Amino acid sequence: MPLDENDRRPIESWVKINQKHRYETLTHYSAESYVKNRFSHRPDIEETFIELQNSILRADFVRYLVLLGDGGVYSDIDTMSLKPIEDWVPSAYVNNINLVVGVEYDKLDGVRWRDWTLDLQFCTWAIMSKPGHHLMKMTVDRVIARQKALAREQGTTISGIHPSFMDVLNTIGPALFTETIIEGLAYTTGTNFTWQSITGITKSRLVGDDTYVQKTNTSSGPFSGSGEG
């Protein structure tokens, strides 16, 4: 797949400071092959992904599937790595952390930005997870349910979905992901965990037994964090 300069710079940022890692780029066809092979035991996943024809919906879905199936770090191709992956989690936590998510937007005391549905939102352009994590499974299951619901709402099949920006955000994108992670953390910690539990964080923190919430260690346009942990 030919890459222009704008594509190469972010990729090189990962390779330069994360030289011990293996990288793989997913295309439309390789993503479909991956899903068929990895999730043959989950026909609901395979069928939903194959039926999705919208490229944006597919791209958003496959990131969760890769992390659920194999774990590791998922990154959008235009995302810059600002910090070595090994430094994302403090050494004291490294053996316990199974999921790392970054805050991309926090309204703090201001007014929520137009077209944003949540007051705090996790980024989906870069996520770290161990394979089979229950919150990634919860995310995938919710994506499937919401795509089916969206298809019913539009009077079509999943293959015929024509999503609006808000549909993408709320049925498969960062709003869905954020809602799922926050609800999952509330359940696993047995607390009233909400976005207000982490709003205004200036330092990364462990939530529950295995989830690390931090400012982003990556950059993807104007909503990037500083990478400071």
Phi/psi for 3 (5° steps) reads: -120, 140
Phi/psi for 128 (5° steps) reads: -115, 135
Nearest of 61, 34, 33, 63 to residue 48 by alpha carbon: 61
Core vs surface per residue 93-115: b (16+ CB within 10 A) or e:
eeeebbbbbbbbbbeeeeeeeee
- Tokens standing for 76? 């959008």
Q: Is 119 exposed, middle or buried (0-12, 13-18, 19+ CB in 10 A)?
A: middle
Residue 81, CA distances (Å) to 6, 7, 15, 57, 167 in order: 14, 13, 9, 24, 29
Taking 70 as the pLDDT cut, the residues of the chain under it are 1-3, 216-229
- C-beta of residue 80 within 8 angstroms of C-beta of residue 188: no
The tens digit of pLDDT for each residue in 179-190 reads 999 999 999 999
Work out whether the CA dihedral 108, 193, 124, 103 comes out positive or negative. positive
What pLDDT does residue 127 have? 96
What pLDDT does residue 219 have? 46
What pLDDT does residue 179 have? 97
The tens digit of pLDDT for each residue in 151-207 reads 999 999 999 999 999 999 999 999 999 999 999 999 999 999 999 999 988 888 899
In DSSP terms, 73 is beta-bridged to 128
Task: Identify the CATH assignment for 5-223 out of 3.40.1710, 1.10.3470, 3.90.550, 2.40.128.
Answer: 3.90.550
Classify strands 205-207 and 126-129 as parallel, antiparallel or unpaired. unpaired
What pLDDT does residue 212 have? 92
Which residue ranges make up each domain of the chain? 5-223
